Amino acid sequence: MSKVISLQIDDKEIKAKEGATILEAAKHAGVEIPTLCFYEGLEPYGACRFCSVEIERGGRNQVVASCCYSVEDGLKVKTKTPKITKMRKTILELAAVRSGKDVSGRMLALANEYNANLSRFKMKTPLPQKKCILCGLCVRRCTEANWESAIGFIGRGIYRRIALFPMPAAGLCSTCHYCADVCPTGRITTGSGPHPPFPRVDDVIAGRE
Amino acid sequence: MNELGTPKLVRSPKDLENLREEIKSERKPNKSGISVCVSTGCVALDAPKVKEAFMAELEKQGLRDQVEFKETGCLGFCEQGPRVTIYPEEICYFKVKPEDVPEIISQSIVQKKVLERLLYKDPTTGKRAKKLEDIAFYKYQQRLLLENNAKIDPKNIEDYIALGGYSALARVLFEKTPEEVVEEVKKSKLRGRGGGGFPTALKWETTRNAPGKPKYVIVNCDEGDPGAFMDRSLMEGNPHSVLEGLIIGAYAVGAHEGFVYVREEYPIAVENIGIAIKQAEEYGLLGWGIMGSSFNLRVRVHKGAGAFVSGESSALMTAIEGRVGEPKPKYIHTATKGLWDKPTVLNNVKTWATIPLIILKGADWFKGIGTQDNTGTMIFSLVGKVKNTGLVEVPMGMSLRDLIFKIGGGIRNDKKFKAVQIGGPSGGFIPEEHLDIPVDYDELVRVGSMMGSGGMVVMDEDTCMVDVAKYFVDFLLEESCGKCIPCREGLRVLSNTLGNICAGKGKAEDIQTTEEIAETMKESLLCALGRTAANPVLTSLKYFGEDWEQHIKEKRCKANVCKALIDFYIDPEKCQACQLCLAECPSGAIQGDKDQVHWIDQEKCIKCGTCYEICSFHAVQKLSGEPIPPEPKGIKPNRKLKGEKKNE
């Protein structure tokens, strides 16, 4: 049913299924686009903007998040322009506003790759979750794996944070540690905690709001 | 129950005409009438008391049956409220107080005399103006949408019908196919009044041709910009015009369900649109088989929960769906996949209210107003440091200078103009050099601002552009939904950096950092809020770089706004040793005696500005970036000057 269309990624002619995202198409063609809040199998979320690429459309250049943008016939995509590289560096530095250099996992690897100074914008915040970049992977993983969320967002804007909801967590967390698996900053850890091993999120609020 | 008696069911265009004739014949055109504005602005200025005074006085003089009394919507000149209009002469009285009411009735209604003292007085010429057209604020306006606000009781559908209301709907339902309606709107070149300026007909066409059912139509009345109230005024004053436009749009795209998204902070708008929907249903103008045709539409009101970001179309739709109002991540137009992933047309209040006019008077008439690619009129909320503030409706393409100096009357206290910000908190600042550009969608974007929903804040020379950029960044920081990293953290860092600059802790590299973050936000973000959030910062930097340099290098705020960079100082020549500031100073920083010129102990001063505010001799001054002269200990005051009351 789905049509095959052709497009260009980094001057490489490739074919992709209609409806696929640029990120999927690129992966298929062997072009790697770095991501933070994307996880294969989970619904794209488009929150980190790290996978941004430049596209040419109607003679105009535009920056889009490749995890959310569906491919079009004749689309020209550039994934590594100087503009994009600079933007990714800034995004990494911004993402680390709370954590500073204190990150591990994919964040650290990407920071090295893009030569980002993670403590550039570091500031003292009253919020306890210093490592978390609020990419929402744990929330989506939990919801999509369990049909119920033991973990979720609360607050808006800069007050946004991750919270653990004890009631569903009591039933779910003893057998599942998906959230720890997907966390790109190493914020969520399991194992050494209490029994059952809750994801160790400091912000435990009573019940779901 | 229905206050208007039994509703007269309209089952055909003929019925509507008959009803209109019937309403008109009941109302004599030369009958005396009084209308009082009961919109939010006037209500805040005690319009309800004025209304009660009129009721009581009419009762007392036994004139209840001879005088028609009406509560109407907003005329836009809110600073001069409460506004009262006397018919049939159409004399407008401003700043009416309950005490004025007996005189108005005995003089203007009974003896048909004009009360000079309640007429509007021009601040420059000092002349009194009897009619609206004589007032400079109204003279240059072209009021297509706002005109009827003062003639209609928004809670009475018959007022709207009497003025030709719902005849556009009748024409559409019985004489035009949906395609013809879209074609007519396309010909008029109407562009979305919410700020993006997307061609309305194109949106309608996309939705009409998009697969998927049902289709929805939505009115966006989530107006959250500080200082803007044009959507509210229209919704409060003439809700039926919005509703009629919505029904026409629904017919054109084939939708049978509509939503009106209104902020809950607009209680009068919520009430009036609710009443309008109910009355339209009772009259057979909404619901099943509208006007006897086979077209059905159900409209519901959805009250917003106060998030600024919900004004963004996809966020508004997620909010109606019952989820957290956050923009949808996919790059798909809501016209094809909107509410519950169904094709949805979402337009601003002003766009919907324009539709009946286009249908009635024709696309060619509409195209004649404004410029070639920007047709029609736009409503701005002109606020800030101008003499006349309020709602202004002008044809597109009028120059900014005319808007600010002719309609706005120039800058208050005859200070110098510095900048104007257009388009709400994420609009850019426009400096004097660009004042002659025509106000339209494309020109504004070209100079780094945007039309937005039409907020227009004028700033004078006493404004610090770094401080004001920080104000808007802080507003957006509060209102960002917090999902995307560059927006949430970018605004946080911007606010912090700007705060440092204002506090005199700015570093040379701050400008580059600011630019870098602003550019990243502008390019990479998902929704319009994020993409435009950096506009105030970028335009402030671009046009007022001097202000930034002074803050960072000289630690000086020329406008004397940034507290950390200014010092208060008492001019010994002017100080009369009256001891007023000495007594009022909360930190005891002011020294001196009753026969000795005062001075400020800078160590103790907390820079609250109290002394500056209360000194009647202008002796207290603000210094920035210059050394403070030594303390004038023991000098006797030079008591020659006369004190004057400070303005405001």
Q: What percent of chain A has pLDDT over 90?
A: 1
**Over the stretch A60-102, which tens digit does the pLDDT of each residue have?**
888 989 888 888 888 888 888 899 999 999 988 888 887 777 7
Q: Pick from A65, A70, A157: which is nearest to B488 by CB?
A: A157
Q: What is the pLDDT of residue A189?
A: 64
Residue range B320-358, pLDDT digits in tens = 998 888 888 877 888 888 889 899 999 999 999 999 999
pTM: 0.87
- Write out pLDDT tens, residues B476-519: 888 888 888 889 889 989 998 999 999 888 888 889 989 999 99
pLDDT in the model for residue B209 = 92
Q: Is B291 left (phi over 0), alpha (psi -120 to 50) or beta?
A: left
Residue A180 has pLDDT above 80, yes or no: no
Closest Cα in chain A, distance from residue B328 (Å): 9
DSSP states of B577-602: ---HHHHH-TT--EEEETTEEEEE-T
In the predicted model, what is the mean pLDDT of residues B275-292? 92
Q: Return the top range by mean pLDDT from A128-132, A173-177, B27-31, B403-407.
A: B403-407
Contacts of A136 in chain B (CB under 8 A): 483
CB contact A47 to B (< 8 Å): yes
Of A69, A153, A157, the CB nearest to B478: A157
Does B485 contact A158 at a Cβ distance shorter than 8 Å? Answer: no
Report which of A40, A46, A1 is spatially closest to residue A19, judged by C-alpha positions. A1
CATH 3.40.30.10 range(s) for chain B read 29-138
Other Cβ atoms less than 10 A from the Cβ of B93: the count is 24
Contact: A90, B331; criterion CB under 8 Å: no
Q: What is the arithmetic mean of pLDDT over A162-178? A: 75
Which residues of chain B form CATH 1.20.1440.230?
465-554
Q: With an 8 Å Cβ cutoff, is A44 touching chain B?
A: yes
Q: Does domain A128-209 have CATH number 3.30.70?
A: yes
Pick the CATH number of B563-624 from 3.40.50.2000, 3.50.50.60, 3.40.50.300, 3.30.70.20: 3.30.70.20
Of B332, B481, B484, the CB nearest to A156: B481
Q: What is the mean pLDDT of residues B406-415?
A: 89
Distance of CA B98 to the CA centre of its chain: 27
Domain boundaries, chain A: 4-80, 128-209
* pLDDT for residue B648 is more than 80: no
Token pair 């939708």 is found at: B255
Give A-chain residues touching B484 at CB under 8 angstroms: 46-49
Cβ <8 Å between A47 and B496: no
Find the CB nearest B524 among A36, A91, A97.
A91
Identify all chain A residues contacting B332, using CB atoms and an 8 Å cutoff. 70
**DSSP single-letter state for residue B147:** G
Q: In this structure, what is the dihedral angle of CA atoms B251, B257, B263, B268, given to the nearest 10 degrees? A: 70
Q: Which residues contact B1 (CB under 8 A, 6 or more apart)?
A: none
Residue A204 has pLDDT above 50, yes or no: no
Backbone angles phi, psi at A82, to 5 degrees: -55, -35
Name the CATH topology of B157-367: Rossmann fold (3.40.50)
Q: Six-digit token pair at A199? A: 């994801």
ipTM of model over 0.95 = no
B-chain CB neighbours of A94 within 8 Å are 485-486, 489-490, 493, 517, 520
Q: How far is it, in rounded angstroms, from Cα B201 to Cα B461?
A: 42
The one-letter amino acid code at B243 reads L
Name the band, by pLDDT with cuts 50, 70 and 90, for residue B641: low
Tell me which residue of B107, B147, B327, B171 sits closest to B237, measured CA to CA: B147
CB contact under 8 A, B332 and A65: no
Q: Please tell me the distance from the alpha carbon of residue A124 to that of residue B493, in angstroms, as a whole number.
A: 11
pLDDT at B7: 67
**Whose CA is closest to A156, among A137, A183, A134?**
A134
The number of angstroms, rounded, from the C-alpha of B386 to the middle of its chain's C-alpha atoms is: 14
Domain A4-80 has CATH 3.40.190.10: no
DSSP H or E segment with residue B300? strand B298-304
Both tokens assigned to A190: 């399991």
Q: What is the CATH number of domain B377-460?
A: 3.10.20.600
Q: Could you tell me if A50 and A41 are in contact, meaning their C-beta atoms sit under 8 angstroms apart?
A: no
Chain A partners within 8 Å of B480 (Cβ): 156-158
C-alpha B301/C-alpha A69 separation (Å) is: 33
Report d(CA B600, CA B571) in Å as an integer: 10
Q: Where in chain B is the domain with CATH 3.30.70.20?
A: 563-624
Q: What per-residue confidence (pLDDT) applies to B276?
A: 94
In Å, how far is B254's CA from the nearest CA of chain A?
27
Contacts A–B by Cβ distance under 8 A:
97
Domain span(s) for CATH 3.10.20.600 in chain B: 377-460
Q: Are B470 and B495 in contact, with CB atoms under 8 Å apart?
A: yes
Residue B11, C-beta contacts closer than 8 angstroms, at least 6 positions apart? B284, B291, B292
As a whole number of angstroms, the distance between CA B288 and CA B295 comes to 7
Strands B257-263 and B298-304: parallel
- Give the nearest chain A residue to B479 (CA atoms): A157
Locate the chain A residue with the closest alpha carbon to B480: A157
**Residue that the structure tokens 């290098």 belong to:** B553
Asked if B526's CB is within 8 angstroms of A49's CB, the reply is: yes
pLDDT score, position B5: 57
* Residues in chain B closer than 8 A to A64 (CB atoms): 331
Give the pLDDT band of residue B544 (cuts 50, 70, 90). very high
Token pair belonging to B443:
């020109």
- Which residues are CB-contacts of B103 (< 8 A; sequence separation ≥ 6)? B115
What gap in Å lies between CA B422 and CA B399, rounded to an integer?
A: 13
Q: Would you call A69 an interface residue with chain B, using a CB distance cutoff of 8 Å?
A: yes
Which band of pLDDT confidence, cut at 50, 70 and 90, is reported for residue B167? Answer: very high
Q: Lowest-pLDDT range, B148-157, B300-309, B492-501, B636-645?
A: B636-645
Tell me if B227 sits within 8 A of B427, measured CB to CB.
Answer: no
Query: What pLDDT does A203 receive?
Result: 41
Q: Does A57 touch chain B (CB under 8 A)?
A: no
Examine the pLDDT at B2 and tell me if it is beyond 80. no
A27-48: b or e for each residue (b if 16 or more CB lie within 10 Å)? eebebebbbbbbbeebebbbbb
**Do A94 and B517 count as a contact with CB atoms less than 8 A apart?**
yes
User: For B201-244, how does the pLDDT look when each residue is reduced to its tens digit (9 = 90+)?
Assistant: 999 999 999 998 899 999 999 888 887 888 999 999 999 999 99
- Using CA atoms, how far residue B112 sits from B68, B126, B506, in Å, is 15, 24, 65
User: CB A91 to CB B488 under 8 A?
Assistant: no
* Phi, psi of A99, rounded to the nearest 5 degrees: -90, -30
Nearest to B614 by CA among B633, B572, B586, B573: B586
SS3 B198: coil
Q: Angle at Cα B433 formed by Cα B196 and Cα B543, nearest 5°?
A: 75
For the structural domain made of B29-138, what CATH number should be given?
A: 3.40.30.10
Chain A residues lying within 8 Å of B330, measured CB to CB? 44, 46, 68, 70
| Chain B residue with the nearest C-alpha to that of A52 | B524
pLDDT per residue as tens digits for the range B558-609: 888 888 888 898 888 888 888 888 888 898 888 888 888 888 888 888 988 8
Option in A44, A47, A83 nearest B484 (CB): A47
Residue B642: what pLDDT? 61
B465-554: what CATH class? mainly alpha
Pairing relationship of beta strands B216-221 and B344-348 according to DSSP bridges: parallel
Q: How far is B592 from chain A (nearest CA, A)?
A: 43
Q: What is the Cα–Cα distance from B219 to B196, expressed in whole angstroms?
A: 15
